[in-house]
Amino acid sequence: MYLIKKKRVLCSTIFLMDIVAPRVAKYCEPGQFVIVRIDELGERIPLTVCDYDRDEGTVTIVVQTIGASTEAMMKLEEGQYLQDFVGPLGKPSELITDDIEEVRKKKILFVAGGLGTAPVYPQVKWLHEHGIDADVIVGAKCKDLIILEDEMRAVAGNLYITTDDGSYVRKGLVTEVISDLVEKEGKKYDLCVSIGPMIMMKFCVLTTKKYDIPTIVSMNPIMVDGTGMCGACRLTVGDEVKFACIDGPEFDGFKVDFNEAMERMKLYRTEEGRALLKLREGDTHHGGCGFCGGDK
* Same domain? 214 vs 199: yes
Same domain, 31 and 99: no
Are 81 and 122 part of one and the same domain?
A: no
Quick check: 2 and 21 in contact, CB under 8 A? yes
Please tell me whether residues 77 and 101 are part of one structural domain: no
208 plus 121 within the same structural domain: yes
- pLDDT recorded at residue 219: 85
**Cβ atoms of residues 33 and 87 within 8 Å:** yes
Residue type, 268: Y
- Domain co-membership, 150 together with 208: yes
What is the per-residue pLDDT across 122-161, written as a single tens digit (0 to 9) for each?
999 999 999 999 999 999 999 999 999 999 999 999 999 9
Higher per-residue pLDDT: 48 or 294: 48
Q: Of 46, 61, 89, which marks where a domain is finished?
A: 89
Predicted TM-score (pTM) of the model is 0.84
- The per-residue DSSP string of 111-150 comes to EEEGGGHHHHHHHHHHHHHTT---EEEEEESSGGG--SHH
Let me know whether 141 and 252 are in one domain. no
Q: Do 167 and 53 share a structural domain?
A: no
Residue 55 pLDDT greater than 90, yes or no: yes
Q: Domain range spanning residue 9?
A: 2-89
Element (H, E) at 160: strand 158-163
Quick check: helix, strand or coil at residue 152? helix
Q: Please give the pLDDT value at position 294.
A: 39
| Domain-terminating residue out of 89, 123, 139 | 89
Count of domains for the chain: 3
Instruction: State the pLDDT at residue 271.
Output: 47
Which residues touch 111 (CB under 8 Å, ≥6 apart)? Answer: 120, 136, 137, 139, 174, 178, 192, 193, 194, 195, 196, 200, 204
Q: What pLDDT, on a 0 to 100 scale, did the predictor assign at position 280?
A: 52
Q: Of 89, 109, 138, which residue constitutes the final position of a domain?
A: 89
